[in-house]
């Protein structure tokens, strides 16, 4: 049976695009952690009838909705890459709603400890004080690029543009309390995840 949720101990899992955050988070979830993924929350907020859609369309216009009523993510991505003020406006709408949803999910989490998956944890500057430990999923940049090109059908130039908007590999490693290296398949991942899970269970008490 899982330990009662600890309000004192939580982990913020982060990593650049293509580093394997979801794979690692799923492994921790299978071991008994309560995983709360901010990307999934953001997708729900911007889905058809999502809670953030009225504010987003009021701010950016109806052209940023798909025919189904969801956020046109490709169009928004193009805009925020070209316009820093648009990125700030988007974040001002989404971030408070994501924060509230993560807090609500954490308050009812039943796992041994809570793990927040936050792709832009380092960049946001607001998550460091909200979690006990930061776990960075790390891999060489050429591995990131190859994975994202294969997975998303993007060009190398497009992937590099996304990576350039994220914290650097060095910045993530410097900010992390713990690091998992994901450059050699699941068999190399499992022992790292098991060791950290054991450590987190001890810290969660």
Q: Which two tokens stand for residue 55?
A: 């504010």
Domain-embedded: residue 27: yes
Q: Which residues contact 188 (CB under 8 A, 6 or more apart)?
A: 181, 182
Locate the DSSP E strands across the chain. 10-15, 34-37, 114-117, 133-138, 178-181
Domain boundary among 110, 125, 142: 110
Residues 15 and 51 reside in one and the same domain? no
pTM value is 0.87
Check which CATH number belongs to the domain holding 159 and give it. Answer: 3.40.50.300
Number of domains, the chain = 2
Domain containing 68 equals 47-110
Residues 165 and 146 both lie in one domain: yes
Same-domain status, 105 and 122: no
Residue 3: predicted pLDDT:
37
Query: Quick check: is 201 in a domain?
Result: yes
Residues 161 and 86 both lie in one domain: no
Domain-embedded: residue 16? yes
Residues 4, 81 share a domain: no
pLDDT at 43: 95
Identify whether residues 87 and 160 lie together within a single domain.
Answer: no
Beta pairing partners, 133: 11
Distance CA 57, CA 50 (A): 11
End-to-end CA distance of the chain: 14
Q: Is 40 domain-assigned?
A: no
Is 189 part of a structural domain of the chain? yes
CA dihedral 161, 162, 165, 171 (to 10 degrees): -110
Q: Are residues 53 and 11 in the same domain?
A: no
CB 35 within 8 A of CB 28: yes
Q: Which of 55, 90, 110 lies at the terminal end of a domain, its last residue?
A: 110
Question: Which string of DSSP letters, residue by residue, matches 36-67?
Answer: EEHHHHHHHHTSTT-TTHHHHHHHH-GGGB-T
39 found inside a domain: no
Mean pLDDT of successive 10-residue segments in the chain (205 residues)?
Answer: 52 93 96 95 96 97 96 92 90 92 92 93 84 95 92 89 88 95 92 97 93
Shared domain for 95 and 15, answered yes or no, is no
Q: Rounded distance, CA 56 to CA 53, Å? A: 5
Claim to verify: residue 96 and residue 133 sit in the same structural domain: no
CA dist 203 and 197 (Å) reads 10
If asked whether residues 14 and 90 sit together in one domain, one would say: no
Domain boundary among 74, 95, 110: 110
The burial of 110, by beta-carbon neighbours within 10 Å (0-12 exposed, 13-18 middle, 19 or more buried), is given as: exposed
Residue 38 belongs to a domain: no
Residues 137, 71 share a domain: no
Domain assignment present for 41? no
| Strand, helix or coil for residue 113 | coil
């Amino acid at each position: 049976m899982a330990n009662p949720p600890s309000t004192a101990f939580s982990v913020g899992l982060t990593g650049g695009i293509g580093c394997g955050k979801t794979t690692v988070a799923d492994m921790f979830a299978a071991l008994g952690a309560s995983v709360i993924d901010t990307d999934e929350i953001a997708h729900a907020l911007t889905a058809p009838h999502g809670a953030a859609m009225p504010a987003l369309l009021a701010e950016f216009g109806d052209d940023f909705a798909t025919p189904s009523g969801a956020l046109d993510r490709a169009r928004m991505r193009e805009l925020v890459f070209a316009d820093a003020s648009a990125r700030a406006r988007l974040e001002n709408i989404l971030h408070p709603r994501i924060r509230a949803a993560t807090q609500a999910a954490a308050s009812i989490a039943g796992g041994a400890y809570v793990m927040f998956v936050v792709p832009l944890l380092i960049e946001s500057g607001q998550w460091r004080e909200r979690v006990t430990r930061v776990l960075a999923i790390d891999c060489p940049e050429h591995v990131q690029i190859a994975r994202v090109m294969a997975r998303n059908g993007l060009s190398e130039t497009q992937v590099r543009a996304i990576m350039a908007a994220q914290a650097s590999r060095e910045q993530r490693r410097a900010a992390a309390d713990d690091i998992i290296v994901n450059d050699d398949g699941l068999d190399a991942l499992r022992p790292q995840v098991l060791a950290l899970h054991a450590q987190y269970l001890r810290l969660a008490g």
